[in-house]
Structure 1
Amino acid sequence: MSSVALPSSAPSYTLWQMVRYMLKLGAIGFGGPVALVGYMHRDLVEQRRWITESDYKEGIALAQLAPGPMAAQTAIYLGYVHYRILGATLVGLAFVIPSFLMVVALGWAYIRFGGLSWMQAVFYGVGAAVIGIIAISAHKLTTKSVGRDKLLWAIFLINAVVTVLTESEVAWLILAAGIVVWLWRAPPKNWGRGGGLTAMAPVGLPEASGWLASQDWTVLMQIGVFFAKAGAFVFGSGLAIVPFLYGGVVTEHHWLNEKQFVDAVAVAMITPGPVVITVGFIGYLVAGFPGACVAALATFLPCYLFTVLPAPYFKKYGKLPGIVAFVDGVTAAAIGAIAGSVIVIAKRSIVDIPTALMALATAALLWKFKKLQEPYIVIGAALIGMAIYPLLHH
C-alpha cells in the first residue's frame, strides 16, 4: 500500500510507460484542454495511480499560473514529477508530436487540394460532440477538486461566470483566488517566508528569442518571434490563444485570410491533442514544413520553460500548508474557468437542433457508459456531420 500512498518517492511506472501513455493521449485525445486534463486525472491518478492527487493539483495550478497551453503544461509537469528534466522533455514531446504530424499532413492536403470543404462538415459534427465530452470532463474535475468546500465553490462560481461574460480566462483572478484561500486557511506568521510563491514570477525567454534572432530567413524569423510571444504571453486554455493568433496572423501580418484562419481553428478542433497545435497548420500554410516546425517550437518552448523552471520550487515547497491552500484556491478558480469555457465553446459549436442533440447524446453516452472511449464518439460524430451538413447547408 505504501507505494500507492507515496508514489512521489518511488514511481510505480517507468519513464517509457509514461511516454507511451502521452503518445497515445496525443494521438487519440479529443476534446481540447478541458478533456485532456480530465483524461490525465482519470487515467494517471484514479486508475493507474502513477500520480498522486496533490501532484496532479500542483500541475494544474502551475499550468494556470504560467502563460501557455494548459494541457501541454500539465503533461510536462506530470513527466517532471518522478523523472525530472528528462521526463518533462520526453513527455512533452510525446504529447505534442502526434497531433503536430497530423496538422502538417492536413496543411499539405489543404494547399494541394485548394482548401478542405469536408472539414466544415466534420467540424459541424465533431464540434458538437466535443461539447458533450468537455462537459462531462468539467463535471468530473469539479466534483473531485472542489468537493464541498464553500469557499472553493464561491471561487469556482465567480470564475465560471467571469469566463462566460468575458469569453476569456482572467489570469489575475485565478492568482487572487490562490492568495485568498492561502490567507484564509493558513495566514503566514512570518510574511518574509513566502516559500515557493516567488518561484512563480514570469521568467524571460532569452533562449527562445536568441535562437530565433539568429535565423537568416525573414519570414521564419517573423513566425518565430510572433509565436514565441503567443506562447509566452497568452494565459488560459488552448482556445484563449485564438484571438491573439487572429490579431497577428490575419490583421497584422496578413499571412492568412479570414476563411483560412477559420479552417485553421477547425483543424485544431477536429484533431486530437492540444488545441494550440493549430500553430503548426498556420506555420505550414505560411512557410511550408520549416514554418510549421518554427511555429510549433516557438509556441511550446516558452510553456516548457515556464513549467520546468518553477517545478523544483513547487516540489520543494508544495507540501507547506500555505502552498497547499494556495494551490487549492488556484485549482478551484482554474476549474471554474474551465466550466465557464464549456459554455463559451458551446455558443460557437451548437448552432442548431441537430448539434444540440449530438452534444446531449454525447454527454448521456459518456455518463451511462463509463468505459466508452471518446475517439469512437468523435468518429461517429464526424460521420454524422458529413452526412447531415451538406443536407442542411445547400
Structure 2
Amino acid sequence: MSVPLGEALKFWAKLGFISFGGPAGQIAVLHQELVEKRRWISEKRFLHALNYCMLLPGPEAQQLVTYIGWLMHRSLGGILAGTLFVLPSLFILIGLSWVYLTFGQVPWIAAIFFGIKPAVAAIVLHAAVRIGKRTLHSQPLQWIALGSFLAIYILNLSFPIIVLIAGAIGIWGGKRYPEYFQVGSGSHQAHSNHFGPALIDDDTPTPEHAQFKLHKTALHSALAALLWATPFILLVVIFGWNSLYPQVAWFFTKAALVTFGGAYAVLPYVYQGAVDHFHWLSAGQMMDGLALGETTPGPLIMVVAFVGYLAGHIQHLIGSSNPFWFGALGAVVATWFTFLPSFFFILVGGPLIESTHGKLGFTAPLTAISAAVVGVIVNLGLFFAYHVFFPHGLSGSISWISMVICLLAGIALFKFQKGIMPVLAGCALAGLLTYCVGTLL
C-alpha cells in the first residue's frame, strides 16, 4: 500500500503553514508526523535521510522534506514537497516586509521591534550553545570553534574562508586523529524507538526511481544548471550585469553552497554580504528581519526573502511609483537561488545515499566545519547584542532596558527552556509596555 500523491501534498502544504520553531522544531514535527503517527517511513530510514541532509549546506529541514517526498513519489513528489514547505513563508514574508518598510516608523510598531531585538540576540546565542553541545564533543573541535570566533571577530575573515580552513583541518585531523573528528550521536539518534511497520520500512528495498543511474544523474544535473542559468541570464539581460538582481542571485547562490551547519550558519554570511559589503540594509534591519523570520512558518533561512525584498524596495523608492513589486522580485530571486541547490543535492545525491544505508563517510571535514560555525554564530550573537545595547555606538548612551529584556529572554530560553515564539511574544509585549510607560511619563 502506498500513499497517494494528493494526500501527501495536502500534508506538505499543511506543514508549510505550521512549521514554526526553527530547524530543530521542524524536524521534531516531521518525526512525530511521519515516523510515529502516519508511519510513512521508519525511524532508521528517517535518520539515514536526516544524516545526509545535516551534512549538506543549506536548510536541513527543507532538504529532509524534499528527500522524503522524492523517496515516496519520485522527483515530482520531492520538488512539490520542498516547494510547498517554502511557499507559505515566502508570501508571508513579502507581506510582512512591505508592512515593515511602510509602517515600521509608527510608534507602537517600532516599540514592538524595540522589544524583539534584544530577544533576537539571546536567541542567536542560545542557538550557538545548543549547536555547540551537539557538535563540540572533543577538545580539538572546541579549539576550532574558538579559532573561528577569533578569525571573524579580530581578523574579519569572510565566512567562506573560515569554512575552507576548517574543512582542511578536518581532512588532516580525520586522517591523523580520527577519534576526535567522528560525528557525535545527535539527539535524534540518542534513542531508536519502534513504532510498528512503516510503508518505507528498514528492510523495504530502494524503489526503482531512487536507484543510482548515471544517465538520470546527468539529466538532473543538466536540468539544475539550466534552471539556474536561465533566470540568471534573463536578469543580466533585463537589468544589466552590475545591477541589483544579478548581484542578489549570485550572492545567494554562493550562500546556498557554503553555509554548512544549518539555518543559523547562513546568517553570518548573509550579514557580511548584505550589510557590510553591498549595504542593502542596515544591521538593525537585519535583526528585524531575523525576528520576522523566527515568527513566521517555514525554514529560518527564509530571512533571505526579507533581505531580497528590502534590497529591491529601498533601491527603487526614488523614481518608482510602486516599489513593492521591485521588492517582491528581490525576495523571489533570493529565494529561488537559495533553494535551487537544495533540490539539486537531493535529486542527484539521494540515489547514492540510498545505496549506502548507515555507511556515510568523509564526515571529518564537515564535523570541523560545524565546529567552526559555532564560533561564527557566537560572534553574530555578540554583534547583535552590541548594536542593541549601544544603539549609538560606545560613545553614546547604553540601552539598559534592552539589556534587561535580553537577560530575561536568556533566562527564559536557557533556564526555563521556553520556545522561541513565547519568548518573542513576551519581549514584544515588554517593548510595547516600555513605549506606553514612556508616553505617560
Both structures adopt the same fold (TM-score exceeding 0.5): yes
The equivalent residue for 1:20 is 14
Cα gap change, 1:181 to 1:292, in 2 (>3 Å): farther
Contact 1:104–1:284 under 8 Å retained in 2: no
1:276 and 2:304 equivalent? yes
Cα gap change, 1:376 to 1:130, in 2 (>3 Å): same
1:171 and 2:163 equivalent? yes
Cα deviations by residue, 1:50-108 (Å, 9 ceiling, x for unpaired):
78556445434322xxxxxx4xx323321233223446544544454344334433454
Q: How many angstroms apart in 2 are the aligned matches of 1:391 and 1:168? A: 43
The equivalent residue for 1:37 is 23
Q: How many angstroms apart in 2 are the aligned matches of 1:247 and 1:336? A: 19
Q: How many angstroms apart in 1 are the aligned matches of 2:81 and 2:410? A: 29
Q: Decide which moves more: 384-393 or 156-165.
A: 384-393
Code of the aligned partner of 2:168: A
Number of residue pairs matched? 343
The equivalent residue for 1:241 is 270
Q: How many angstroms apart in 1 are the aligned matches of 2:76 and 2:336? A: 15
Note the C-alpha offset of 1:243. 4.1
Q: How many angstroms apart in 1 are the aligned matches of 2:147 and 2:287? A: 30
Equivalent residues in 2 for 1:286-325 (5 A)? Answer: 286=316, 288-311=323-346, 312-313=348-349, 316=352, 319-320=358-359, 322-325=361-364
Cα deviations by residue, 1:282-309 (Å, 9 ceiling, x for unpaired):
3345364432342123222232232232
1:155 and 2:194 equivalent? no
The equivalent residue for 2:428 is 382
Code of the aligned partner of 1:358: I
Equivalent residues in 2 for 1:342-353 (5 A)? Answer: 342-351=381-390, 352-353=399-400
Equivalent residues in 2 for 1:27-106 (5 A)? Answer: 28-29=20-21, 36-40=22-26, 43-44=29-30, 55-63=49-57, 70=58, 73-84=59-70, 85-86=75-76, 89-106=79-96
The equivalent residue for 2:247 is 226
Give the gaps of 5 or more residues in structure 2: 1-6, 36-42, 180-217, 260-265, 294-299, 317-321, 391-398
The equivalent residue for 1:180 is 172
Q: How many angstroms apart in 2 are the aligned matches of 1:128 and 1:357? A: 9
Cα deviations by residue, 1:217-253 (Å, 9 ceiling, x for unpaired):
5489944312102212345413422343347765xxx
Note the C-alpha offset of 1:48. 7.7
What is the SS of the residue equivalent to 1:310?
Answer: helix
Cα gap change, 1:74 to 1:349, in 2 (>3 Å): farther
Q: How many angstroms apart in 2 are the aligned matches of 1:339 and 1:46? A: 31
- CA-atom RMSD in angstroms: 4.1
1:326 and 2:361 equivalent? no
Equivalent residues in 2 for 1:204-223 (5 A)? Answer: 206-214=226-234, 218=239, 222-223=243-244
Cα deviations by residue, 1:10-52 (Å, 9 ceiling, x for unpaired):
xxx9565455334323xx54xxxxxx23434555569986785
Contact 2:248–2:334 under 8 Å retained in 1: yes
Note the C-alpha offset of 1:128. 0.5
Give the gaps of 5 or more residues in structure 1: 1-12, 30-35, 64-69, 188-198, 251-255
Contact 1:167–1:344 under 8 Å retained in 2: no
Q: Decide which moves more: 174-183 or 214-223.
A: 214-223
Code of the aligned partner of 1:313: G
The equivalent residue for 2:184 is none
Code of the aligned partner of 1:225: P
Q: How many angstroms apart in 1 are the aligned matches of 2:52 and 2:375? A: 16
